[in-house]
Structure 1
Amino acid sequence: MAEPSRPQELPARLLTDPEMIEACRVRDFSRVFRLVKVHAGIYPSMIARRCDLTPSRVGEVMAARRQLVHMDVIERVADGLRIPGHMVGLARRPWETPAALTTTERQLPRREEPQQEAVPSALPGLDADSFLALTSRTRPSPSTLKALRASIEDYWRRDDQHGGEALRPAVVGQLRYVVELIKEDRHKPVQHELYAVAAELARLTGWTHFDARQYSQARTYFAEALQLAKQIDDRQFMANVLACMSLQATYQDKPGDALAYVTAAQDEARDAVGTTPRVLSMLSMREAFAHATLGNRNATHTAIFDAHQQFKRIRQGDPDPAWVTYFDEPKLIADTGIAHGRLGEAATAEPLVTDALRRESRSTNERGRAFHAFWLARIQLQQGKLDQACQTATEALERASAVASPRVTGHLKEFYNLLGPYRKEPVATAFEGRLRELLTV
């Protein structure tokens, strides 16, 4: 058993596995990371934390798009994952030395790390992973699982109101805590619930990166969420994650990928037992977004029709997953308007988005209201309604200033760029001044 002050050791069976030995010998860290994930339960986000790497860099290494060649990085990987030095061509690592032989070792000069001196002495000195390993030995009770679910709901509410950047450290910490709990053998229903909670936390982390326009990191966490959901065959949740990836692809101007992801999501949902009409309606609307971005008018209209038909089938008491309850009637109406707006059908889109914003007047989802107001402003500008568009965009700007959401900020900067032909008009000048006052252009 690993000591509390040290990160958890890799299983002996992994360190003696011929494939692991060979991967370490040739420093094939793509294989090393995959083997560590499969046989030690150390997921990419944990690898990144232990080795002081970014999640996106770990993802690129695992996908064999990037290699680790610098000696200091290789040392961090060996130390973070507790790979003995000789396996990767390094000298014996300090942590390999038995406690009884450490006297001489301590006489060796040590590299100073000034940044660590600034850490208040009152803070605990245990490595975070080791601390989580200690806590994972407790047996989660039904109340613990209920508390984890409640915290996820709270995270989403706070994300809608304030943005996810400030939440991310807490969410990632809780994700790693739950992944540590999963490692221990438990009663099957408890293990199933832990996988489900971890999958939701991974998706939430991916979403916060997506909202921050950090797309590579978002994909890494979305992939982790898919893997966790796959372990318990939660096809509805896999469809949900794929729908998130589809939406991200539309933002990255990859409409072909967006359509492929949402089509896969719909396949997963149809194969799942008990998929609700609300889930199918949401997925059809994501399909409409993908087709609209591709300019497929007929396919967009068909997907919108399907979304509304599925929504009509919703009944009180449907066993909707918690993650889809946000998709209510105002959201359906707003998304319908946005899909028409993406096609350039501004006259059809404007009354829909206007109605949705009216229905959302008491909503606490500040980011959602800012997002919908941006789209209404853009649709109004498409019709040449400059004064209305600038007024609506200013309202969106006021809401966006209260939310840390680079995605919404990016939309408002996009609207500013669309004002190019009208820059000398007083209303455009006024919007530009307010934009510069509240945001950095």
Structure 2
Amino acid sequence: MSAPQPYPGLPPELVASPEFQRVCRERDFSQVFQFAKKKAGVYPSRIAALCGMTPSRVGEIMSGRRSLAHIDVIERVADGLRIPGAMLGLAHRPWEIPAGPAVAEQAPGRALTPPAEGGATQESTEPSGIDDLLTLADGKVTRSTLVALQSSVEDYWRRDDEHGGASLRPAVVGHLRYVSQLMRGADGALRRDLQSLAAELARLAGWAYFDARQYSTARTHFTQALRLSRGQDDYLFMANVLSCMSLQATYDGNPTDAVALACKAQDSARAAGDQPLVMSMLHMREAFAQAALRDSMACRQAIDRSRDAYELARGREAEAPTWVRYFDESKLIVDTGIALARLGESARAEPLIAEGLRRESGAQQRGRAFHAFWLATAQLQQGNLDAACESAGMALDLTASLDSPRVAGHVREFHRRLAPYAREAPVITFEQKMRDILG
């Protein structure tokens, strides 16, 4: 059986037609899908595969029985059918923006075209973008350039941890494009180091878009990071990227994919040698995904493996990659509680999450906000409304200093769960605080 042909996008004459532009502007996805079927021969099953939906959901949308309003799904439609973002009221999509050929943006599953030996490319056109012109003016890339760029990445991660990643997106993507251009003028060891830096920037961009709940764009950048690290056989970094993609799949309602990605990350880490702290974190990623699948036995087994690997890592933290050292004993404890809370085992989850929160550093604003949300969830599951609203209030206070739609989304999700108790005093107080902080 032959492989399916790459999707070329909708015909230009369809995209340019006033009728299609109108239904896109109105976000009438029933008509968008009808046009794709009738004018481009893209049938519902293909639309479903391209846009990350089930065929039955596409059928319901086409018949008008269901609509699309969630921004993440609309982004998937734009990226899957290659509809320019502006036509759907979105920002420019990553695939619309030209990038340097060495690390060009691509949709998930599309291979990058490798540059020629020594960094030369097949293109001979004159550079016209501002990034190209500035890079030409910089002259030869030096080792000090690389050191300065690495310092910027470290600062981005610090700011992400303290304040959230959403506001970092333009700067990180700009740096990614800049490094892509620098790779043109480098060779040998310096080029390899720039490629590693580009992979880290792509992962950081993916994480920032994930924190902004723009999952389709995040997946594009994570895929780019994975391809760049694979080109260097950097198995630990590949495990890192796969773990991010597993967590995103759990958030995006694809727990089966999340399990597969976590297990693949574990395989990649094993290929890199003895890395118990990395394995401990990756087993916990699997536990989250198994909990989302409601497979309690598999979830507990993953938690046990995470704990066992952590015991092997004690005293060896300095040997682990810097990106995983955040996974300390406090994180192990609180993540165990979160996995149990996802399973609905709130009585076991609450003391673990509370202990993790007690131990955590005050500088970990976003992490503490997430953990306060999960503590509130466990308390609400047990019917302890006063404590749940107090913990959710803590999450709100921390959210006030963050630019993280993912955290704000958790808080709003908790608020929806309070609907049956809308007239209770703790809920009224919480709602007032929520209006003051989130609007």
If the length of structure 2 is used for normalisation, what is the TM-score? 0.71
Preserved CA contact (<8 Å) 2:75 2:216: no
Structure 1 match to 2:130: 128
Q: Distance in 1 between matches of 2:236 and 2:405?
A: 29
Which residue in 1 is equivalent to 2:141?
139
Given that 1:281 and 1:307 are in contact with CA atoms closer than 8 Å, whether structure 2 keeps it comes out as yes
Q: How does 1:3-402 map to 2 (within 5 A)?
A: 65-66=81-82, 127-134=129-136, 137-141=139-143, 143-187=144-188, 189-272=189-272, 274-314=273-313, 315-316=315-316, 318-360=318-360, 362-402=361-401
Structure 1 residues 282 and 132, CA gap change in structure 2 (3 angstroms): farther
Contact 1:211 1:406 in 2 (8 A): yes
2:135 partner amino acid: A
Q: Which segment drifts farther, 324-333 or 375-384?
A: 324-333
Equivalent in the alignment of 1:51: none
Residue pair 2:334, 2:353 contacting (<8 A) in 1 also: yes
Structure 1 residue 182: deviation in Å? 1.8
Deviation per CA, 1:293-313, whole angstroms, max 9, x where unpaired?
Answer: 000111100100110111111
CA distance in 2, matches of 1:156, 1:264: 25
Matched, 1:404 2:406: no
Structure 1, gaps ≥5 residues long:
1-22, 28-55, 71-76, 83-97, 100-125
Encode CA deviations 1:379-434: one digit per residue, 9 max, x unaligned: 01111111111111101100011101111101111111111111111011110111
Root mean square deviation of aligned Cα:
3.1
Opposite residue 375 of structure 2, the aligned amino acid is: L
Q: 1:162 to 1:229 in 2, by over 3 A?
A: same
Q: Is the 8 A contact 2:340 2:349 kept in 1?
A: yes
What is the letter of the counterpart of residue 186 of structure 1?
D
Among the aligned pairs, what percent are the same residue? 50
Q: Look up the SS of the partner of 1:323 in the other structure.
A: helix
Contact between 1:293 and 1:342, CA under 8 Å: does it hold in 2?
yes
1:323/1:136 CA distance change after superposition, 3 Å:
farther
Residue in 1 that maps onto 2:424: 425
- Indicate the larger mover: 145-154 or 248-257: 145-154
Displacement of 1:264 after TM fit?
1.4
Q: Is the 8 A contact 1:136 1:177 kept in 2?
A: no
2:259–2:290: 8 Å Cα contact kept in structure 1? yes
Cα displacement (A) at 1:359? 0.5
CA contact (8 A) 1:423 1:429 kept: yes
Distance 1:190 1:376, change over 3 A: same
- Aligned residue for 2:319, secondary structure, equals coil
Residues 416 and 58 from structure 1, CA distance in 2 versus in 1: closer, same or farther, beyond 3 angstroms?
Answer: closer
| Contact 1:132–1:180 (8 Å) recurs in 2 | no
Q: 1:130 to 1:191 in 2, by over 3 A?
A: closer
Question: Structure 2 CA distance, aligned partners of 1:79 and 1:382?
Answer: 46
Do 1:136 and 1:181's aligned partners in 2 also have CA atoms closer than 8 Å? no
- Shift in Å at residue 67 of structure 1? 6.5
Match of 1:131, as an amino acid? L
Deviation for aligned residue 1:79: 11
Deviation at 1:270, TM superposition (A): 1.3
Map of 2:37 onto structure 1: none
Q: 1:185 to 1:152 in 2, by over 3 A?
A: closer
CA offset at residue 195 of structure 1? 1.3
Query: Which structure 2 residue ranges, 5 or more long, are not aligned?
Result: 1-7, 13-72, 87-94, 101-124
**Rg comparison, structure with higher value:** 1
Alignment correspondent of 1:34: none
How has the CA–CA distance of structure 1 residues 280 and 186 changed in structure 2, closer, same or farther, with 3 Å as cutoff? same
TM-score normalised over the length of structure 1: 0.71
Letter in 2 for 1:425: E
